[in-house]
């Protein structure tokens, strides 16, 4: 009798343990289905039974279906919104209440090209700007200004963005509000404004120096010309003349730059033999007093076909470069203009055997009023605008310009212009 009871209890215990194991297995399967948002198959878990269990599984499947439906609706709304805003020129950014980026169109990627991954990232990870994050918080609190300028600075670049923001209802049913921002890249305008301010300051400085000298000498002549020695008077007048000529050169170069940077720079292209053009310029310079102690030569490949260029403006390029070489090279130096064809381009090199300039100055020498040595250009009579004019004229011809130099090893200006007659 006792044995029978023991066997019955053992069987009951085994059945209970088996049922418990099946229920645990079913719960794990249900948890996995919930995490994956997949329907839970009741028949896939044999051993778990009962009316309550069936009702629980049915409720779980309904919740899973509802979550999946809401997720698809949210994804569809974001996809539709992204399709609508994707091709806008203005950058658009949408973030949720926890600053996760939900939408960013192509224009935003163009403003921040280094941000390779944007969607689903936190805002502070993608856009490193405390000022922008503060503006986001202000928008959420209803305190954001209609338009706000933010400066984004990284190791190699600075960008300015004008941003407008507002809150919008969330599209996923959550209580938190989303925030939408429209960003307008004003970097170019800001840089032009900085260039303009710097240019005005430089022009004012360049004009002030000769004007101050002229004013001082004129006042001295007016007040004391009766008692002044003739030699002093002649020296004063020569100084006034020299600084007046510098003022005139400066104004002429400023007007030239202004015309080159205008909407219609007046480029008059003609089919021109580069060899004949350079040859006539070199012959003219050889006869000038300033070049008597220099050797000026040309090496133009005769195979170069006539180019569609503006001969007057290109003459101005060569004259500026030759004047520059004559000013800053010692007597006995050699200046050579060489040209050869390279595929679809013609490469022109204007080389001298003078002292050259340091490598650190090379990226800046085409900037307006840039000087390798302070006062060097003024002493030589230069305006500091010649190389800027060269760069603008070559760029108008669709070409490029660069400088090569090693200190005490001469200077070379490399001009590259298209050889095709149809080039712009």
Closest by CA to 366, choosing from 405, 338, 339, is 405
**Ramachandran quadrant class, 281 (left: phi over 0; alpha: psi -120 to 50; beta: rest):** alpha
Model pLDDT, residue 417: 93
**pLDDT, tens only, 225-255:** 777 888 888 888 888 888 888 888 788 877 8
Element (H, E) at 336: strand 334-342
The per-residue pLDDT of the chain, averaged, comes to 79
Model pLDDT, residue 13: 59
Place of tokens 């994804």: 75
Contact indicator for 217, 240 with CB cutoff of 8 Å: yes
Closest by CA to 307, choosing from 280, 276, 336, is 276
What is the dotted CATH code of the domain comprising 270-418? 3.30.565.10
Query: Could you say which DSSP state residue 349 is in?
Result: E
The whole-angstrom separation of Cα 313 and Cα 390 is 9
Domain ranges of the chain: 2-72, 86-185, 191-260, 270-418
Closest by CA to 348, choosing from 294, 393, 409, is 393
The whole-angstrom separation of Cα 206 and Cα 246 is 10
CATH class for the region spanning 191-260: mainly alpha
The whole-angstrom separation of Cα 355 and Cα 409 is 6
Please say if the pLDDT value at position 42 is more than 90: no
Please say if the pLDDT value at position 22 is more than 80: no
The CATH topology of domain 86-185 is Beta-Lactamase (3.30.450)
Which one is predicted more confidently, 52 or 112? 112
**pLDDT, tens only, 58-117:** 766 677 676 666 666 666 565 665 565 656 678 888 888 888 888 888 888 888 887 777
**pLDDT, tens only, 150-195:** 888 877 778 888 999 888 887 666 667 888 898 988 888 888 788 7
Q: Which pLDDT band, with edges at 50, 70 and 90, does 47 fall under?
A: very low
The whole-angstrom separation of Cα 160 and Cα 152 is 6
The whole-angstrom separation of Cα 257 and Cα 384 is 12
C-alpha neighbours within 13 Å on the C-beta side of residue 135? 24
**Ramachandran quadrant class, 230 (left: phi over 0; alpha: psi -120 to 50; beta: rest):** alpha
The whole-angstrom separation of Cα 269 and Cα 424 is 10
For the chain, what percent of residues have pLDDT higher than 70? 74
Q: What stretches of 43-100 adopt beta strand conformation (E)?
A: 91-95
Lowest-confidence range among 83-97, 290-304, 314-328? 83-97
**pLDDT, tens only, 3-12:** 666 666 665 5
Beta strand 295-300 with 334-342: parallel, antiparallel or unpaired?
parallel
């Amino acid at each position: 009798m006792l044995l029978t009871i023991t066997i019955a209890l053992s069987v009951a215990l085994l059945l209970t343990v088996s049922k418990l194991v099946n229920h645990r297995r079913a719960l794990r399967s249900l948890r996995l289905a919930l995490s994956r948002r997949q329907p839970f198959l009741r028949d896939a878990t044999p051993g778990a039974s009962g009316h309550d269990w069936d009702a629980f599984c049915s409720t779980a499947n309904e919740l899973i279906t509802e979550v999946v439906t809401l997720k698809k609706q949210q994804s569809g709304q974001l996809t539709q919104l992204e399709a609508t805003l994707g091709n806008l020129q203005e950058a658009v950014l949408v973030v949720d209440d926890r600053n996760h980026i939900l939408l960013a169109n192509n224009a935003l990627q163009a403003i921040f090209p280094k941000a390779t991954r944007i969607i689903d990232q936190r805002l502070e990870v993608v856009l490193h700007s405390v000022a922008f994050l503060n503006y986001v918080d202000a928008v959420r609190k209803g305190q954001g200004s209609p338009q706000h300028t933010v400066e984004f600075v990284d190791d190699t670049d600075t960008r300015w963005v004008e941003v407008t923001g507002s809150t919008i209802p969330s599209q996923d049913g959550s209580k938190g509000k989303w925030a939408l921002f429209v960003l307008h890249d004003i970097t170019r305008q800001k840089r032009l404004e900085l260039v303009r301010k710097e240019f005005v300051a430089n022009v004012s400085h360049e004009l002030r120096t000769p004007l101050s000298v002229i004013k001082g000498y004129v006042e001295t002549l007016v007040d004391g010309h009766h008692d002044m020695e003739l030699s002093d008077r002649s020296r004063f007048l020569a100084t006034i003349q020299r600084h007046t000529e510098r003022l005139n050169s400066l104004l002429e170069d400023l007007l030239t730059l202004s015309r080159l940077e205008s909407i219609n720079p007046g480029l008059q292209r003609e089919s021109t033999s580069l060899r004949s053009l350079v040859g006539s310029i070199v012959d003219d310079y050889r006869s000038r007093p300033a070049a008597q102690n220099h050797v000026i030569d040309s090496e133009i490949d005769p195979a170069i076909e006539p180019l569609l260029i503006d001969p007057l403006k290109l003459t101005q390029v060569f004259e500026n470069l030759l004047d520059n070489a004559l000013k800053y090279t010692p007597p006995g130096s050699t200046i050579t203009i060489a040209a050869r064809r390279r595929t679809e381009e013609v490469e022109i090199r204007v080389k001298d055997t003078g002292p050259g300039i340091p490598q650190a100055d090379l990226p800046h020498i085409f900037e307006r009023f840039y000087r390798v040595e302070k006062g060097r250009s003024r002493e030589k009579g230069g305006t500091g605008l010649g190389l800027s004019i060269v760069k603008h004229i070559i760029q108008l011809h669709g070409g490029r310009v660069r400088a090569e130099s090693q200190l005490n090893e001469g200077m070379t200006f490399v001009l590259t212009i298209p050889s095709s007659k149809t080039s712009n």
